[in-house]
Chains A and B, each alone.
Chain A
């Protein structure tokens, strides 16, 4: 099973700041990595797929990068609605696995 390790566990920032979230995989997943946003009481929402492709309707302030085992989700300038939990997920190998999540909280 491919293990995904996200860091940091919690990130405290202010609106307008830049957020950088990391996801490291225990073996190469190529570019088969996605990022999801999860807000309380809401279904998860796809943000980025195949490492750097923004999903439909996702604002340009969200960007993804990386390949192999190291990936990054960047939010260029935080909006109030961006404070949530973010998960990375790989689909390179079965079973599909998720990272444990990064909580982005308001400082």
Chain B
């Protein structure tokens, strides 16, 4: 069965950096696009970033553009989110999600359990 396990969350000061990982199993990782989605406390879901199957196309929300970088290692079946210049408003639970498609956004077929990022001074 599909499993997505996020890690790397924690407490970081404003302006700091963090790298999230998502270990995937149960499907052919290199054949699907992947997303990061977050949910801040008391707020709704917010799409963060997408990367296509081979990593050649990426897109991200304006709120994180220039600060967050999505990447993947298909040899390790792992998705990453490098977060820099973190702000208080980046505090959220971060989820990785498998797209239904390889090269376009698709819908979010499967989700991990999330990893919590807290930005606090």
User: Given the complex, which residues of A lie within 8 Å of B37, measured CB to CB?
Assistant: 44
Q: How large is the interface on B (under 10, 10 to 19, 20 to 34, 35 or more residues)?
A: 20 to 34
Q: How large is the interface on A (under 10, 10 to 19, 20 to 34, 35 or more residues)?
A: 20 to 34
- B89 proximal to A (CB < 8 A): no
B37 to chain A, nearest CB (A): 8
Are B44 and A49 touching (Cβ within 8 A)?
A: no
Are A43 and B45 touching (Cβ within 8 A)?
A: no
Q: In the complex, A14 Cα to B50 Cα: how many Å?
A: 39
Which residues of B (53-99) have their CB < 8 Å from a CB of A? 59, 61-62, 95
**Nearest chain-B residue to A49 (Cβ)?**
B107
User: Given the complex, which residues of B lie within 8 Å of A89, measured CB to CB?
Assistant: 45, 47, 107-108
- A62 proximal to B (CB < 8 A): no
User: Given the complex, which residues of B lie within 8 Å of A42, measured CB to CB?
Assistant: 113
- Please tell me which one of the listed residues B46, B50, B110, B113 contacts residue A98 in the complex, with CB atoms under 8 A apart: B46
Q: Which residues of A contact B (CB under 8 A)?
A: 34, 36, 38, 42-46, 49-50, 55, 87, 89, 91, 94-101
